[in-house]
Amino acid sequence: MEFLNPAALYALALLPLLLVPYLIRRRPRRLFFSSLLLLREFATRRSARPWEKMYLPPIFFLQLILLALLLLALGEPSLSFRPVSVALVLDNSASMQAIEGEKSRFQLAQDEAAKILSALPAHARVDLYIVVPRLTRVTEESLKPGEAIARLNSLGPLDLGEADIDYGAEFERLVGERKYQRLHFLTDHPAEGQSASVRVVTLGRPKANLAISAFQIARRSLASPQLEARAIVRNFSATEQKFKLALKGNGNLLAGRSYSVAPNRSVEAAFENIPWRPYYEAEIDAGDGLALDNRRFAVPPPQGALKILAVSPRPEGLSSLRAIPGVELQLVSPEAYEKGNFEPHALEIFHYSAPAVLPESHALFVLPPKQNPLVEIGTALSRPTVSGWREPHPLTRYINFALFRPAYARELKPGGLGEAIIQSPDGPMAVALEQKDFRYLALGFDPFPFLGRQNLPMSIFTLNLLDWFNEGRTGNASATGAPLAAQLRPGEMVLTPTGEKIALEKTSTVFARTYVQGIYRITGGETEKFFAVNLGDERESDLREPPVIQLRSEPGAASNRAFYASLWPYLLLTAIALLLLEWFLNPASARERPASEPVKRDDFRWA
């Protein structure tokens, strides 16, 4: 037997309240009696009895049973036959690593799952599922309960967030497709609604948590060799939290500071002039529920100058860029670009030219032709003056747009992608787009001829855009579950944060098994490469109110009803029968027997 609404069973704790009316009734009814001469002896005898203080008549126990039955009926007990086709879904997302007492939520889920499996008949068939990186079966074949318990122990939580799926609908589909008689989902999400086949076991309680939501190592400026670290710590609690943030480089402590963060707010910590290390780690010492998000990793941006590949039919127009410190310019013609295979550059500038598709790097389009993959080109502007701009934005800072007057400009049409950064009275002059970790900027004017003191706002704009592209040029960092973009060759080896060594046997451009947060090292090549992988889902850090799973009764699961019989109507009927019995045994008329009514003093009068 199980309860579909187990929360109602907490109401059983209210049963002792039934004593209250009897305690209140302890003030006895006052009745007149002709003479107490013959009764005094009984009073003396009764007061000596120890149970006299708590006299509970038999009707009390009848009422107690009646109330208990009603509360049990509220719990909606159901008699279920032991299913033989069972799906066991384990939530192995990052939030299941939260500690509840001495065990993690995932360990509690394993224990609960083992209990469920132990209760199954020996011939039952069990399918194990996990929810991250996606809802998938652990084994191809169905397992016996004993085998499933053994397999269960080999599973562990991953440093991944859950996909946005409607579990109620997904389980409904799964039960319908695979004809499961029962599906158990062990998770930290609460559930609402009822389902004949799906049972959600909610583990864990709401907790306060601090999490490092972002950590980045970047250059201070375009030409600066100095690095600075920025970390954002978010407070997922209702109280102000204090913490100490430690910055480590290559495993050694570099700096540390104390901060406090308001409830539901974030605080940004910055460390300047940090030395170069192969990789960095930010860690907070909060003893909160989830340790995973108390650490975050980053690798420094590539050393050296900002390498720019400029594609232009008019290379002389770009020569002024060479004067900017920290910039390494390679000029090629559009024809050479189409034919050649160039090394990856930090930035590709298409000057009066455009590639067929958006390049896999940051790219700047200056007065591109009409056939370009980024924007539509409009007509030439009659008066290329600026009428509006995005603010605040890294591209528009420090610029006096009253003096920003390009000699020639064309109207750009973003066409749904990108946002207008600089507006003229006739249309946008600059459109920016961020897509797939790359930044793209299309300009309807050419800023480069004006570098230097001839047009200061235009020069500032040029430096801004180089800085903007340089900001996006951080180290190799990605979210857990996202593939690492790396040129992997046979003979190289990937060392994961768990210490696992994976030898590569063939050439690949990505490494996909990034389910654990930490530093991934690729060794065996010319240089050792470091990649930082961090938990990329802030929702996993919020342990206060996980989303509720909405369960529905499966319309097509009529066959399942054979395994399920609701008992609450019978309990209700029994309670009603007891109520009638109580009414029969203790009718109101008996309670108001005239003889037991107090005789008023007014009655002592001859009528």
Contacting positions for another protein (CB under 8 A): 25-26, 28-43, 46-47, 52, 55, 57, 590-591, 593-596, 598-599, 603-607
Before 6, cis peptide (omega within 30)? no
Q: What is the spatial order of strands in the sheet that 419-424 belongs to?
A: 327-332, 306-311, 347-351, 362-366, 438-443, 427-435, 419-424, 388-389
Contacts of 113 (CB under 8 A, 6+ apart): 88, 90, 149, 152, 184, 186
Q: How far is the CB of 25 from another protein (least distance, A)?
A: 8
SS3 65: helix
Q: How far is the CB of 24 from another protein (least distance, A)?
A: 12
Pick between residue 21 and residue 490 the one whose CB is nearest to another protein: 21
Q: Max Cα separation, the chain?
A: 132
- Fill in the amino acid letter for 343: E
Give the separation between CA 380 and CA 231, rounded to whole angstroms: 44
Q: How far is the CB of 584 from another protein (least distance, A)?
A: 16
- H-helix or E-strand containing 232? strand 227-236
Pick between residue 123 and residue 600 the one whose CB is nearest to another protein: 600
Q: How far is the CB of 197 from another protein (least distance, A)?
A: 51
Q: How far is the CB of 550 from another protein (least distance, A)?
A: 51
Q: How far is the CB of 26 from another protein (least distance, A)?
A: 7
- Fill in the amino acid letter for 52: E
Q: How far is the CB of 72 from another protein (least distance, A)?
A: 29
Q: Which of 212, 210, 189 is CA-nearest to residue 201? A: 189
Task: Give the HSE-up count for residue 431: Cα atoms under 13 Å, Cβ half-sphere.
Answer: 23
Pick between residue 38 and residue 122 the one whose CB is nearest to another protein: 38
Q: How far is the CB of 20 from another protein (least distance, A)?
A: 16
Q: How far is the CB of 552 from another protein (least distance, A)?
A: 52
Pick between residue 31 and residue 580 the one whose CB is nearest to another protein: 31
Pick between residue 46 and residue 501 the one whose CB is nearest to another protein: 46
Q: Where are the beta strands (DSSP E) in 63-222?
A: 77-80, 85-90, 99-100, 103-104, 125-130, 136-137, 182-187, 191-192, 198-202, 209-219
Q: What is the spatial order of strands in the sheet that 198-202 belongs to?
A: 136-137, 125-130, 85-90, 182-187, 198-202
Q: How far is the CB of 15 from another protein (least distance, A)?
A: 21
Tell me how crowded residue 62 is: count the other CB atoms within 10 A of its CB: 16
Assigned token pair, 463? 């430096």
Pick between residue 34 and residue 498 the one whose CB is nearest to another protein: 34
Pick between residue 37 and residue 558 the one whose CB is nearest to another protein: 37
Pick between residue 40 and residue 436 the one whose CB is nearest to another protein: 40
Pick between residue 436 and residue 593 the one whose CB is nearest to another protein: 593
Pick between residue 38 and residue 558 the one whose CB is nearest to another protein: 38
Q: Which of 161, 170, 169, 97 is CA-nearest to residue 129? A: 170
Q: How far is the CB of 575 from another protein (least distance, A)?
A: 24
Contact 446, 424 (CB under 8 A): no
Pick between residue 527 and residue 606 the one whose CB is nearest to another protein: 606
Contact 550, 166 (CB under 8 A): yes
Give the separation between CA 313 and CA 308, rounded to whole angstroms: 16
Q: Which of 360, 213, 368, 225 is CA-nearest to residue 295? A: 213
